[in-house]
Amino acid sequence: MNNLIFQPVIVMCLLSFFMMIWMYATRLPAAKKLEQDGIDVQKFSHPSSIGGIFPSKVERVADNYNHLFEQPTIFYAISFVIWGLEHTDIIHLYCAWFYVIIRIIHSIFQATLNLVWIRFSLFILSWVALATMIFREAINLV
């Protein structure tokens, strides 16, 4: 049972990979369009200078991709702690899968509709699952 914690971890990794593909599938054509319009995209080689040059539908996907390297890193860390201490149980598995499913939904919303209050609610729900995993492990270590 202990290795089952890696299934949601792998799905999160696949989500990051999918969002990277989606990001480049939208960003590259947008960059080519800018070049056709006479804009030198080399001027935007630093990430902080990119904001606002691409259409919102392109930037939303890139924003989500970047977000997958923020909070989810804690998910990866706690999942490995749970696995390493052999603490995988049904509650951790439900929390991990709930976290991943909510992050998938969050990614879809951010990259498409970008409804802020729905995104925020999904973000908080994902934190509830993640915090449950963290606090359960913190209690186990005391």
DSSP string, 20-52: HHHHHHHHHHHHHHHHHTT--GGGG-SGGGTTT
Q: How far apart are CA 52 and CA 49, in angstroms?
A: 8
Instruction: With beta carbons less than 8 A apart as the criterion, state whether 112 and 26 touch.
Output: no
pLDDT of residue 50: 76
Nearest-Å Rg of the Cα atoms of the chain is 18
Sorted by where each starts, the structural domains of the chain and their CATH numbers stand as 2-141 (1.20.120.550)
What is the pLDDT tens value at each position of the chain, 142 positions in all? 999 999 999 999 999 999 999 999 999 999 999 999 998 888 877 777 777 889 999 999 999 999 999 999 999 999 999 999 999 999 999 999 999 999 999 999 999 999 999 999 999 999 999 999 999 999 998 8
